[in-house]
Amino acid sequence: MRKLCILLGLAAVGAVHAETGRQAWLRYNQLEGVTLRHARETVPSVITALTQSAIIGSAQAELMRGCRGFIGRTPRVQSSVPKEDAIVLGTEAAIGKAFRQWHPENPLAPDSYVLKTIRRDGFRYTIVTGANDRGVLYGAFALLRKIGLGEPVEDLDERQTPYQPVRWVNQWDNLDGSIERGYGGHSIFWESGRARTDLSRVGEYGRLLASIGISVCSINNVNADPRILSGLIPDVARIADALRPWGVQVALSADFGSPKTIGGLDTFDPLDPRVQAWWNSKADELYRAIPDLGGLVLKADSEGRVGPSAYGRTHADAANVVARAVKPHGGLIFYRGFVYDHHMDWRNPKNDRARAAYDNFAALDGQFDPNVIVQIKNGPIDFQVREPASPLFGALEKTNQAIELQITQEYFGQARHMVFLVPMWKETLDFDMQARGAGTPVKALAAGRTFHRPAGGMVGVSNVGMDDSWFGNQLSQANLYGFGRLAWNPDLSSQSIAEEWTRLTFGEDRNLVKTVTAMLLSSWRTYENYTGPLGLQTLTDITGNHYGVNVEASERNGWGQWHRADAQGVGMDRTVATGAGFIGQYRPAVSRMFESPATCPDDLLLFLHHVPYTHVLHDGKTVIQYIYDSHYDGARAVRQYVRDWESLKARVDNQRYGEILAQLEYQAGQAQVWRDAVTTWFWRASGVPDAQNRVGRYPGRVEAESMQLEGYEVVSVEPWESASGGKAIQCLQSSCTAKFRYDGVAGRHTIRVQYFDQNNGAARYRLLVAGQLVDAWVANDHLPTQKLDGSSSTERTISGIALRPGDEIRIEGVPDGGELAAIDYVETEPDVN
């Protein structure tokens, strides 16, 4: 009896664990109601694999797992086509042998799959086949997706070919186990300079990638440690073994200086025959250990990395020397187009970082070997909240290209903010570069369709980590999912991707699907609204952590992310007529549209033009009023997300419900910090007041510096706009107190305490109202700063507190380490009943 209880207890714990997010969209939770009944009737209970291989073995195991989960029935396995309904897996050749009625019209492209129902002798066979083993695996996942989404599976006739031939993810993992711009914990691949002993998460990642059609994963940072090509090849081989059953090949980032740093040569000049010989023998060694290595990624002459400029050589010389080495093995070289000068003179109005990719690569068109792909970031700067499509996409006709998208949310709130990136990606993918007249969208150029290139596609910087949520935010998984779905089929709508992901990730509840989908779909605009609208770029600390607000961090330095806001106006003049000329890098039809503010889309106005604050947008608003309004809209929208999510409490498992609620509540506080910072900054710069009188007036807010302080002292915050009134209070003693008398109306209120949570201590706070303790908390979040600034500014919300005029509101702070229990302000807001 006791044993049974323990077992039941474990089962319960297991059930809770199942909702950590680790299974992502592959949870396979039992279907319900009619959908379950229908699936039980139509999904065969036998699986036959006609081809034996590790990958097809994964397909079979996955189908078993999925059927067990979705319909609570484990299929039987048969080695030949049985005399009963069955799911039959195999390559096309094997299916053709077993079914004489199999007549494929055209040969299948690599990785394509077919799902087809064949009826024979009164039995129904659900055929899952592909051109290669990987295609069969993709077909199995597609079948499971259909079952999970409750789509009919008894009459299938579907043939699916990936739109993008190349579908890669890059991980920026360092060998010590950290991840550059990773927010989901430590590397799943690396630990203390070696591959992890336990690579089980790598296999799980391979499964996620396979389910969305990703076929190659590069496993180390593009800021590559040269040691990856020396002692670590056996480690790479182990990682490749863990991914291979999922049809995912490994690729590596290489340091272009390797022939010198680890190869013992005195040069890495790409035109030196000794350097070519070194890369050749290195490639031979790599492919001996990992015969299916996808290829190498190169970041050269960029952000301090060495490159061909050291010898006066071109990027084509650099790419080709490595490409020739991997060519005999069928390998690809991804050469990153992210090359720019970060020491530019900001005083020169003709200087412009946005020009860099085109200026560096367009003239080299035609000089790259056929197994080189130039990997181009979606926008000309660097994954900002809104950028036009890079003009380089339209300039390369005789060079393979891939579009690089960032799945990890570096400039998008670093997994602390919900931002669903699919609508943004689609905007770029669908943008017509007019490269051969109209009808040449970026997706077609990247895929190599426009100029009939042999290779090309999409690369996503994914950066998953060891956290159960993979990203540090459950909702960020939707971006990886969406990336894969778009690489497979860029014509899927954002709506359908969001809905599909939500249903697979959280279940079928109608309200839930509607609410979460709406939140996802509006989230990019919302984030843009409170961080940097109209093409201002993300107004963050661009020389620091890329996270909190810092409006001037972009200015007066060599990094070239200037918005050039001053007393008269704002925006970067990139016109041909008077500016840096960037707009001239586009084909004439596009460049004409961007050149005139009258035809330039408002969303990109300040990216492309410098205009006075009073410039009137297409919707009739002035630029300055739009900046004010969008920030208030954005911050309000996040508060609404919190309420929307709260309405789903009963419909989501506790763990994910709680995690997402905490994330959204935090985001709501941060959005307000952004709102106040950007609006007051622009108010001060422009001198134009907010027509709606909100900026600079905060009803119910009491600045900490104006409270009665015991022990606390007033401190100026840098940058000034990141704290209300530019000031905060901090405690240099063992404990301090700040208090004031409430003078508003009587009734229930929400109290918001805006405090600072740095990552160099765990200060403690207590909030007392009229002598009663109403809340206590520890500031122990791990935000990316040690300073008092917009990144550490954090909101604590306490609702339902009865307040009467004259009540004392008092905060006690106890510092810890470098964290001085700092406070910005307290706000009281009447609760709505």
Could you tell me the smallest distance in angstroms from the CB atom of residue 316 to ligand GCW?
A: 20
| The three-state (H, E, C) secondary structure of 295-359, written as one string | EEEECCCCCCCCCHHHHCCCHHHHHHHHHHHHHHHCCEEEEECCCCCCCCCCCCCCCCHHHHHHH
Cβ proximity to ligand GCW, 296 vs 600, nearer residue = 296
Tokens coding 479: 């971006």
Contact of 268 with 257, CB cutoff 8 Å = yes
Could you tell me the smallest distance in angstroms from the CB atom of residue 181 to ligand GCW?
A: 5
Please say if 341 is a catalytic residue: no
| Residue 181 makes contact with ligand GCW by CB under 6 A | yes
Cβ proximity to ligand GCW, 222 vs 236, nearer residue = 222
Please say if 382 is a catalytic residue: yes
One of 154, 285, 303, 345 is an active-site residue; which one?
303
One of 19, 269, 382, 499 is an active-site residue; which one?
382
Tokens coding 326: 């991997």
Cβ proximity to ligand GCW, 382 vs 812, nearer residue = 382
Cβ proximity to ligand GCW, 180 vs 552, nearer residue = 180
Could you tell me the smallest distance in angstroms from the CB atom of residue 484 to ligand GCW?
A: 20
Contact of 609 with 573, CB cutoff 8 Å = yes
Could you tell me the smallest distance in angstroms from the CB atom of residue 532 to ligand GCW?
A: 15
Q: Is the peptide bond before 719 cis (omega within 30 degrees of 0)?
A: yes
If 0-12 CB within 10 Å is exposed, 13-18 middle and 19+ buried, where does residue 33 land?
exposed
| Residue 172 makes contact with ligand GCW by CB under 6 A | yes
Q: How many other C-beta atoms lie within 10 A of the C-beta of residue 773?
A: 11
One of 410, 629, 690, 757 is an active-site residue; which one?
410
| Residue 488 makes contact with ligand GCW by CB under 6 A | no
User: Which residues inside 213-272 make contact with ligand GCW, applying CB under 6 A?
Assistant: 222-223
Could you tell me the smallest distance in angstroms from the CB atom of residue 411 to ligand GCW?
A: 8
In the complex, which residue's CB is closest to ligand GCW? 382
User: Which residues inside 541-570 make contact with ligand GCW, applying CB under 6 A?
Assistant: none
If 0-12 CB within 10 Å is exposed, 13-18 middle and 19+ buried, where does residue 633 land?
middle
Cβ proximity to ligand GCW, 559 vs 645, nearer residue = 559
Contact of 356 with 561, CB cutoff 8 Å = no
Could you tell me the smallest distance in angstroms from the CB atom of residue 645 to ligand GCW?
A: 30
| Residue 341 makes contact with ligand GCW by CB under 6 A | no
Tokens coding 40: 């039980």
Contact of 271 with 231, CB cutoff 8 Å = no
| Residue 383 makes contact with ligand GCW by CB under 6 A | yes
User: Which residues inside 193-222 make contact with ligand GCW, applying CB under 6 A?
Assistant: 222
| Residue 299 makes contact with ligand GCW by CB under 6 A | yes
| Residue 485 makes contact with ligand GCW by CB under 6 A | no
For residue 616, what is the DSSP state?
A: B
**Rounded distance between C-alpha atoms, residue 419 and residue 425, angstroms:** 12
Could you tell me the smallest distance in angstroms from the CB atom of residue 225 to ligand GCW?
A: 12
> Residues 92, 133, 225, 382: which binds ligand GCW (CB under 6 A)?
382
Tokens coding 91: 């390559």
Tell me the per-residue interface mask from 410 to 429 with ligand GCW, x by CB under 6 A, - otherwise: x-------------------
**Rounded distance between C-alpha atoms, residue 633 and residue 361, angstroms:** 40
Please say if 410 is a catalytic residue: yes
Residues 6 or more apart whose CB falls under 8 angstroms from that of 396 comprise 361, 362, 365, 374, 445, 451
Query: How many residues belong to the site for ligand GCW (CB under 6 A)?
Result: 10
Residues 6 or more apart whose CB falls under 8 angstroms from that of 19 comprise 27, 653, 654, 655, 656
> Residues 99, 338, 594, 613: which binds ligand GCW (CB under 6 A)?
338
Residues with catalytic function: 303, 382, 410
List of residues contacting ligand GCW (CB under 6 A): 172, 180-181, 222-223, 299, 338, 382-383, 410
